[in-house]
Amino acid sequence: MTSSEVLSMYENIAGLTNQMAAAARMGDLDRLGKLETECATKARAAATGVAATSGAQRLRKIDLLKQILANDREIRDLTDPWMNTIPGMQHQ
């Protein structure tokens, strides 16, 4: 995978997490679940065969990772209260 393909993959994942956050804000848990499955598939692909990046591409990759993590935090903040109402799903 080339460094351009790596950035494209991270941009795709960041876009999916943006959509996931929007679904969580709207309380659309069905859409959130579907997007989560798609995102997990893309993330597994990201874990293997990723070329190293440098310079501007590395900085862009870092920005995308920060965006993904921020989206993840927002999704958790929105869904944790709901998850805690389901028996057996409480976070430890």
The answer to whether 17 and 39 have CB atoms below 8 angstroms apart is yes
Establish how many alpha carbons lie within 13 A of residue 78's alpha carbon, considering only the half-sphere containing its beta carbon.
17
As a whole number of angstroms, the longest Cα–Cα distance in the chain is 48
Domains and CATH numbers, the chain: 3-83 (1.20.58.380)
The answer to whether 68 and 14 have CB atoms below 8 angstroms apart is yes
Q: Which two structure tokens, joined as six digits, stand for 81?
A: 């209260």
Q: Which two structure tokens, joined as six digits, stand for 76?
A: 């958790």
Which pLDDT score is estimated for 66?
A: 97
pLDDT per position as a tens digit, 9-64: 899 999 999 999 999 999 999 999 999 999 999 888 777 767 778 899 999 999 99
Region 1-9: mean pLDDT is 84
